[in-house]
């Protein structure tokens, strides 16, 4: 029940993002494979610039959940504000300049690897990606604030915000892409504007709840808005590995999709983005479960219950493996029909240099490779969430960075050079090897148990009021094991701990401050 209470809203939230991305690309596919490839390439180029911040802000969930578990919910709000300050500074210092020079950045990457791209696709991807970067603050702010809500176990709020954002984004995108209801026909630029407006709506919903009187009373969300170097340092201290992890991974995917794959032509590029959209249907709900695992493991570690934290992590892993395994079967059985959904949506005169049969054939092959990696991807996603919740962020970040560069970039480069006849399938096989290696290494790390001693917030310590026996930071409902005195508190419910009235005021707990 605890897993479902947090995971279900998180999964619905992630599925809403999947629907947004899926329908966005389906709408754009009506302009042909060139536009479809451009939206994919431009989108990943934009998110590469923001990836470090996205990855780093995931630890807002860790701090919020561990403070909740340790009996200090009022300390959680400051970490949400620290995340917003980080988002703003990164937007001004990194993303706005990147929006101005995205064309030069992308061209430089391709030139360094001696790769080429269709000129029409390259032009549209810069148009799309630049607009996303200009509005990226709202996207990052929505994700960072959402991590706070996950940490304090209020996942439904994030779900509502995401759904309302999509309700605005999807019809607006359709109108702006094709010029409906008196709006200008803007093509891929309209798709980018629709996405930014949807993010603004999503963040606005979260902030209305975040700043409400009820949340301020419990989490001090109104009184902790000022810039706090201490809280930003806390986020940096355990968040930078997650930023490096996601940043490295997205850079590798950027090189893979807009470099290695695009080098084989528009048909390969379009087929790859169609495959990745179906992979999103598989792994985005898994990220929802992983977010829930992070929050639950963080709370259990804060309560000094590592065994229960481990069991919850493996429960999340079992659920995710079953779901992504089922998706893998669908990829295998209906691979040509799934790719054809996008190709057949485009009018015949929009197909250009990428005939439908070529895109369907190549996409069917890449979906087979994608099916092979799904179960391994499931394990990797959940293990990263569990380790992050426990505060073990450096090791997963380093392992992800090393394996992604070795397999996705190194393996993809070798495959494209040594087996050019295989087209983009060679680099896709290198990606599959990456997921296998990453999953095995992360499972090994979790099983080693190193994370059990890495809590970033220590739970309150309780002693028997009669004999002084250490009762730990759990919820000892019953008699002291040493002298039999009835001792109890309600830390697990989030209330202030209590002791029996006949015992007087009880023992003042020893509170360990955040490092």
> What is the pLDDT, as a whole number, of residue 130?
96
Q: Is 478 helix (H, G, I), strand (E, B) or coil?
A: strand
The pLDDT value recorded for residue 346 is 53
C-alpha to C-alpha distance for 407 and 402, rounded to whole angstroms:
9
Yes or no: say if 476 and 462 are a contact pair by the CB < 8 Å rule. yes
Q: Which of 158, 75, 92 lies closest to 511, judged by CA?
A: 75
Closest CA to 295 of 1, 94, 3, 46: 3
Query: Whole-angstrom Cα distance, residue 512 to residue 506?
Result: 19
CA dist., res. 221 & res. 153, Å (int): 15
φ and ψ of 484, to 5 deg: 85, 0
How far is Cα 507 from Cα 395, in angstroms, rounded to an integer? 39
pLDDT digits (tens, 9 = 90+) for 289-343: 898 898 888 888 877 788 888 998 999 999 999 999 999 999 999 999 999 888 7
Secondary structure of residue 182 in the 3-state scheme: coil
pLDDT score for 479: 64
Residue owning tokens 């759904």: 163
Assigned token pair, 216: 């301020």
Contact partners, residue 39, CB within 8 Å, separation at least 6: 24, 25, 28, 124, 125, 128, 188, 191, 273
pLDDT of residue 365: 95
pLDDT along the chain (515 residues), means of 10: 73 76 79 84 89 90 84 89 96 95 89 78 92 95 92 88 91 93 92 93 96 93 91 90 84 89 87 90 88 84 83 92 96 93 61 69 95 96 90 83 93 92 93 96 91 63 59 52 59 36 34 32
Which distant-in-sequence residues (6+ apart) come within 8 Å of 272 by Cβ? 40, 257, 261, 366, 424, 428
Angle at 161 between CA 156 and CA 163, to 5 degrees: 95
pLDDT score of 142: 93
The pair of three-digit structure tokens given for residue 218, joined into one six-digit string: 């419990």
* CA separation for the pair 108, 253 (Å, rounded): 16
Radius of gyration of the chain (CA): 24
| For the chain, domain boundaries | 2-453, 462-503
Q: How far is CA 64 from the centre of its chain?
A: 17
DSSP of 433-471, one letter per residue?
HHHHHHHHHHHHHHHHTGGGG--SSPPPBEE-TTT--EE
């Amino acid at each position: 029940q605890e897993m479902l209470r947090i995971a279900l809203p998180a999964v619905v939230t992630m599925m809403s993002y999947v629907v947004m991305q899926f329908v966005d690309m389906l709408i754009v596919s009506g302009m042909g494979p060139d536009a479809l490839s451009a939206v994919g390439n431009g989108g990943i180029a934009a998110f590469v610039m923001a990836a470090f911040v996205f990855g780093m802000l995931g630890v807002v969930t860790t701090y919020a959940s561990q403070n909740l578990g340790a009996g200090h919910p009022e300390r959680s709000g400051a970490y949400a504000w620290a995340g917003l300050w980080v988002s703003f500074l990164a937007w001004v210092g990194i993303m706005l300049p990147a929006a101005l020079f995205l064309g030069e950045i992308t061209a430089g990457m391709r030139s360094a690897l001696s790769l080429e791209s269709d000129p029409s696709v390259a032009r549209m991807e810069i148009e799309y990606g630049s607009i996303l970067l200009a509005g990226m603050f709202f996207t990052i702010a929505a994700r960072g604030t959402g991590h706070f809500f996950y940490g304090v176990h209020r996942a439904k709020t994030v779900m509502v915000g995401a759904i309302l954002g999509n309700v605005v984004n999807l019809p607006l995108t359709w109108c702006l892409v094709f010029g409906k209801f008196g709006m200008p026909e803007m093509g891929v630029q309209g798709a980018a504007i629709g996405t930014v407006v949807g993010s603004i709506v999503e963040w606005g919903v979260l902030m209305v709840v975040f700043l409400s009187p009820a949340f301020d009373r419990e989490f001090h969300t109104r009184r902790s808005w000022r810039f706090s170097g201490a809280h930003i340092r806390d986020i940096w201290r355990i968040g930078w590995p997650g930023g490096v992890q996601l940043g490295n991974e997205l850079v590798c995917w950027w090189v893979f999709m807009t470099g290695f794959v695009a080098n084989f032509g528009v048909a390969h590029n379009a087929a790859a983005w169609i495959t990745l959209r179906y992979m999103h249907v598989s792994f985005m709900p898994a990220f929802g479960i992983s977010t829930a695992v992070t929050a639950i493991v963080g709370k259990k570690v804060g309560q000094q219950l590592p065994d229960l934290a481990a069991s919850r992590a493996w429960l999340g892993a079992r659920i995710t493996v079953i779901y992504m395994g089922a998706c893998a079967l669908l990829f295998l059985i209906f691979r040509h029909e799934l790719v054809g959904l996008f190709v057949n949506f485009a009018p015949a005169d929009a197909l250009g240099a990428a005939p439908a049969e070529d895109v369907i054939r190549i996409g069917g092959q890449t979906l087979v490779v994608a099916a092979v990696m799904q179960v391994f991807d499931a394990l990797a996603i959940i293990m990263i969430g569990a380790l992050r919740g426990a505060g073990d962020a450096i090791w997963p970040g380093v392992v992800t960075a090393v394996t992604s560069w070795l397999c996705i970039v190194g393996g993809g480069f070798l495959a494209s050079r040594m087996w050019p006849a295989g087209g983009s399938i060679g680099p896709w096989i290198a990606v599959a090897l990456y997921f296998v290696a990453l999953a095995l290494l992360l499972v090994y790390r979790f099983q080693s148990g190193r994370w059990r001693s890495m809590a970033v917030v220590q739970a309150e310590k309780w002693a028997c009021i009669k004999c002084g026996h250490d009762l730990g930071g759990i919820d000892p409902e019953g008699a002291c094991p040493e002298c039999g005195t009835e001792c109890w508190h309600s830390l697990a419910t989030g209330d202030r701990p209590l002791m029996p009235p006949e015992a007087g005021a009880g023992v003042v707990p020893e509170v360990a401050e955040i490092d």
